[in-house]
Amino acid sequence: MILPSAGQEIIRGPAGAPAVLFLHGFMGEGADWMEVVDELCEGFRCICPDLPGHGRNCSHSGTPFTIEHAAVGLLRRLDALGVDTCGIAGYSMGGRLALYLALQHPARFTRVVLESASPGIRNEEERRQREQHDRDLANRLESLSPEAFSEFVKEWYDQPMFASLARDPGRREQLVTRRLHNDPAGLAASLRGMGVGSQISLWEKLGGYSTPTVLLVGELDHKFRQIAEDMSEACPSMAVQCMGGCGHNVHFENPSGYTMALKRFFGVTA
């Protein structure tokens, strides 16, 4: 079991304050949340781990990097930190993991923010096709030279859902450079085990879900706006909040707006 240790996470805020667990997306790391955490940590204990296969948590010895294994590891780490209940905010892959945690352990997670996230793929054939796509991408990652990995990262952020990042080329380049700190083998293991193709659909469980949840999406991310609307229709406790001018990575494109949304949702007025 790969657990985030004290060297594989960032913790900010008073030990006795209400806790919020932040879960990053694919190719990300706990440090991705620092612009948000710096504005939130006076009133909250913010816990930002590097998820399996990412950042400083990339080594493994055959243990599968699955949603289920990652969830167990995070729960054990929260236990070690003395956190019985907390809020949770997850982005993309981290949002899928956050939803899984909230569904499996509703008494433990009091409020949930899902940013550009989904409950998985409902259609079984589409899911199998995506799983094969993720495996092919993982195989490619493992074969890359450092130069080719740099090209892979640039290609990743050339996808249409990240098109809005191009409005600030310098900031986009900063994000690409940060992603080069990853180990391609760790990312490949994450894709195989935690990719959306390998995840069992959670759509069927939304009808019985009652934890207060905000579905944060970017105005320009049409695919995930529709997913969020469908989730909200399936589950009355989920409310959609659309952030103007943003694409897929809302907390990076508009950290102040994202932080204000969290403060309102978690009951902070300042």
Report yes or no: 136 and 188 within 8 Å, Cβ to Cβ: no
Global pTM reads: 0.94
Segment 169-185 mean pLDDT: 93
Cβ neighbors of 88 (< 8 A, separation 6 or more) are 20, 21, 22, 23, 98, 101, 102, 109, 111, 112, 113
Segment 228-245 mean pLDDT: 97
Q: Which domains does the chain have, with CATH numbers?
A: 6-123+199-266 (3.40.50.1820)
β-bridge partners, 22: 89
Residue 191 confidence class, pLDDT cut points 50, 70, 90: very high
At 11 the pLDDT is 95
Summary mean pLDDT of the chain:
92
At 65 the pLDDT is 86
Nearest-10 crossing angle of helices 124-142, 146-156: 150
Q: Residues 43-101: pLDDT tens digits?
A: 999 999 999 999 888 766 556 689 999 999 999 999 999 999 999 999 999 999 999 99
- Give CA–CA dist 224/252, Å, rounded: 16
Share of the chain above pLDDT 90, in %: 89
